[in-house]
Amino acid sequence: MKNQKIIDMLNEQLNKELFSAYFYTAMEAYFSSQNLDGFAHFFMVQTKEELDHARLIFNYINKIGGRVILKELKQPKIDYTSPTEVFELALAHEQFITSSIHEIAKTALEEKDLTTHSFLQWFINEQAEEEETMDKILRKLKFIKEDPSGLLFLDKELSTRVYAPPSIMQAE
């Protein structure tokens, strides 16, 4: 039985995930303009992940008999003062997304929608990884104090990030 309150929350989350892709694409563009191709690559992969998250929610809304409602996306920030600022914003954004997913999971339990609660467990685990990744890079940036040689070393490290679609997508 579909629960409109949960479907509305899932639609909001879907739109947040789409905005996340837009948000990270702006960061990719910033780093590309700074000739930091490894950082740009990192955010290109991040964008793909956010689009995967959106697709999972899109498919789930349809699966439970809801209707997907897409909303207008606001323009993300496009100018940054430093790589550190970018990762501070990225970490804060991931924390916001985590809070939003936790709220849906909490509501699903209150509404006794155990199917949605189960579906959200993958996202809850994924968000812990997302926050950890952003935090680790941010701590590295603060450690190197954006020294050019340290920045280039980190740029090279970030260029090795590999995109892999979530295993949950293969189960659909």
- Residue carrying structure tokens 């191709």: 37
Q: Greatest CA span in the chain, whole angstroms?
A: 57
pLDDT computed for residue 164 by the predictor: 87
Q: Which CATH number fits the domain that encloses residue 82?
A: 1.20.1260.10
The structural domain count of the chain equals 1
pLDDT computed for residue 146 by the predictor: 83
121 marked among binding-site residues: no
Give the rounded percent of residues in the chain with a pLDDT score beyond 70.
Answer: 97
- Tokens, residue 38: 């490894």
50 marked among binding-site residues: yes
pLDDT band at 166 (very low <50, low <70, confident <90, very high): confident
Q: Is residue 110 included in any domain, yes or no?
A: yes
Give the rounded percent of residues in the chain with a pLDDT score beyond 90.
Answer: 93
* Other beta carbons within 10 Å of 161: 15
**pLDDT tens track for 65-112:** 999 999 999 999 999 999 999 999 999 999 999 999 999 999 999 999
pLDDT computed for residue 170 by the predictor: 56
Q: Is residue 172 included in any domain, yes or no?
A: no
pLDDT computed for residue 2 by the predictor: 85
What is the C-alpha separation between 33 and 31, in angstroms, rounded?
A: 5
pLDDT computed for residue 172 by the predictor: 56
Range of the domain at 124: 4-68+77-159
157 marked among binding-site residues: no
pLDDT computed for residue 119 by the predictor: 97
53 marked among binding-site residues: yes
pLDDT band at 168 (very low <50, low <70, confident <90, very high): confident
127 marked among binding-site residues: yes
What is the C-alpha separation between 96 and 105, in angstroms, rounded?
A: 14
Q: Is residue 155 included in any domain, yes or no?
A: yes
